Amino acid sequence: MLMKAAEIAVQIMVKEGITDAFGIPGAGINPVYKYLETAPIEHYGMRHEEACTHAADAYYRASHKIALAICTAGPGATNFVTGLYTANIDSIPMLAMVGQANTWQLTQDPFQCVDMVSIADTVTKKVFRPMKAEDVPVMMREAFHLMRSGKPGPVLIDFPLDVQMAETEFDIDAYEAMPVEEVRPDMGQIREAVAMLKEAKAPIIIMGGGVILSESERELVEFAEEYQIPVITTYMAKGGIPVDHPLNVGHCGIQVGQPLGNKYMLESDVVLAIGCRFSDRHTGALDVYRGDRKFIHIDIEPKQIGKVFDPDLGIVSDAKLAIEALKDAAKEMGLTAAGNPRVAEIPSWRKKLARKTDYDSVPIMPHRVFKEVNDAFDDETMFTTGCGIVQIWSGQLQEINKPMRYLPSGGAGTLGYEVPAAFGAKVAHPERTVVTVLGDFGFTFLGEEIAVSAVFKKPIIVVIVNNAFLGLIRQNQKGAYGFEYAVEMPYNQDGTIDYVKVAEGFGCAGERVFTPDELKAALVRAKESGKTYIIDAICVKEQLCDMGGSLANVKSFAPAE
């Protein structure tokens, strides 16, 4: 059947399982929109192109289903770049599609023509630009395969206008998705890993975000339980093991790390790390992090092994397949429970090292905000967070008991991710409560997307930790350079800026709170309102967050009382 390339692209999206799209139409992409109108794909019109990508990103984090982010050419397309980077570094697949000038104009600098192939090359798995209609089915098929294969990630289709309108023969019934190859571990290496665990006196497991992406957190916890090995979760794996699980020692790291996780990491002798990338905020100073301990690193991406440091044993494998293989080999080789007294001591150490959150001060201590958030919401609630001092407090203090409920911008730390991501998560799971906790400055990055939440009746709750400072930048200026400049924002608290009016102007509800009791009551009203609800919590202005240069010297800045 003779068919326009724009229609072919939409039909392939449908067959590959896309049911939701986040986009903004424009002249450069309108031929595709013509066929989206009648497709079984729900389209959500966003207010900024970058928001399209963040919504599609969090949609996948919440559901493990791929969504479409779509917009027009030129500045619309370049506004996608931050969202593509945010998804790519966290291994989140997304189909991004942008308009482009006609093929014959590409070297003429026409209106809204920009070289997205070059611009987006380093922040996607691949950029495709079909130059004729018959390229489209081949490229779309490869795009979906790439998104799902190996280390997942976003792809971009840079779609010239004349190609969208061109015709070619196509039969959707003959189209078949490319199968995704399994990445299985080498069993000799798996046995070597088990042998290292048998020799260990204080082993530890690091559950990375790759475990969540492969949906193998349950299997990994079972393995840990069988052999009584403590579990550290990276920031991207938050919720992969319940907070109060007797083997959960929380995060380790120099920012979102927790005292318990750092303690158990520093006391370990063999580290089994699965699906993590040893980011600098996790490791801190590498000499301290590595110490004399041995590392087993399992990752689906071969280039990840040895990228930061050479492990004693590197295994390329899908996380789930590796864990299954470890289980089999452990039984075969007679691995036994460690029996180390430090395992039995985890619950007591958890209480001793827990950070204080029950401050009664006015203005509100940021830590108290997270106590009230922890108390107010159930385990099915989904949370998003972006960057800055509020994100660090969130990583340190939020209690998440299930996977795919905490959806952060991890590797990029993107201000502006929070609100559109919350909306994308709500689209993925309309039945769940979705909350974003962010700073007053962070809210001004893509905060207008609360309007999208309002008009589509997909309510989210936005909690603003209003400290009237660029808090993390101030802390860095003072701690690293000994100065403070351009970071104070008193107008965010003194009434000049009114976030409640902003909320009301965008069709939402909101209130400003000054005390812990007012915050507690506001969270109840937010849940009961059925509306997108903004809570502007006036907090202590100059409170710093705990951090340090290595796992051994994280400094606490929180008051004892």
pLDDT value of position 340: 74
* CATH classification of the domain holding 194: 3.40.50.1220
Q: For residue 458, give every residue at least 6 positions away whose Cβ sits within 8 Å of its Cβ, in sequence order, or none.
A: 423, 426, 427, 430
Triad 10, 66, 18: Cα angle to 5°: 30
Report the share of the chain in percent with pLDDT over 90: 97
Alpha carbon 427 to its chain centroid, in Å, reads: 16
pLDDT tens readout for residues 250-277? 999 999 999 999 999 999 999 999 999 9
pLDDT tens readout for residues 367-412? 999 999 999 999 999 999 999 999 999 999 999 999 999 999 999 9
pLDDT tens readout for residues 503-539? 999 999 999 999 999 999 999 999 999 999 999 999 9
Q: For residue 158, give every residue at least 6 positions away whose Cβ sits within 8 Å of its Cβ, in sequence order, or none.
A: 77, 98, 100, 116, 117, 120, 127, 128, 129
Domain boundary among 351, 386, 407: 351
Work out whether strand 2-4 and strand 167-169 pair parallel, antiparallel, or are unpaired.
antiparallel
pLDDT tens readout for residues 417-453? 999 999 999 999 999 999 999 999 999 999 999 999 9
Other beta carbons within 10 Å of 454:
18
Arithmetic mean of pLDDT, 4-23: 98
464 has pLDDT over 90: yes
pLDDT value of position 525: 98
158, 207: one domain: no
Alpha carbon 282 to its chain centroid, in Å, reads: 15
338, 380: one domain: no
337, 215: one domain: yes
User: Which letter does DSSP use for residue 364 in this model?
Assistant: B
322, 196: one domain: yes
pLDDT value of position 338: 67
Indicate left, alpha or beta for 168 from its phi (over 0: left) and psi (-120 to 50: alpha). Answer: beta
* CATH classification of the domain holding 424: 3.40.50.970
Residue 416 covered by a domain: yes
Distance between CA atoms of residues 110 and 49, nearest Å? 21
pLDDT tens readout for residues 337-377? 866 788 999 999 999 999 999 999 999 999 999 999 999 99
DSSP string across 374-423? HHHS-TT-EEEE-SSHHHHHHHHH----STTSEEE--SS--TT-HHHHHH
pLDDT value of position 249: 98
Residue 561 covered by a domain: no
pLDDT value of position 141: 98
- Whole-number average pLDDT of the chain: 97
308, 442: one domain: no
pLDDT tens readout for residues 207-223? 999 999 999 999 999 99
Residue 233 covered by a domain: yes
27, 125: one domain: yes
Residue 546 covered by a domain: no
Residue 333 covered by a domain: yes
380, 514: one domain: yes
315 has pLDDT over 80: yes
Residue 503 covered by a domain: yes
Containing structural domain, residue 35:
2-174
364, 283: one domain: no
| Terminal Cα-to-Cα distance of the chain (whole angstroms) | 74
Domain boundary among 121, 143, 174: 174
229, 139: one domain: no
8 Å CB contact between 426 and 461: no
Residue 476 covered by a domain: yes
pLDDT value of position 186: 98
Distance between CA atoms of residues 30 and 99, nearest Å? 8
269, 393: one domain: no
Arithmetic mean of pLDDT, 282-297: 98
216, 330: one domain: yes
User: Which letter does DSSP use for residue 554 in this model?
Assistant: P
Arithmetic mean of pLDDT, 125-139: 98
325, 410: one domain: no
The pTM (predicted TM-score) of the whole model is 0.97
Domain boundary among 289, 320, 351: 351
Residue 556 covered by a domain: no
Arithmetic mean of pLDDT, 323-332: 98
Arithmetic mean of pLDDT, 296-319: 98
Arithmetic mean of pLDDT, 236-247: 98
8 Å CB contact between 358 and 314: no
- Quote the number of domains for the chain: 3
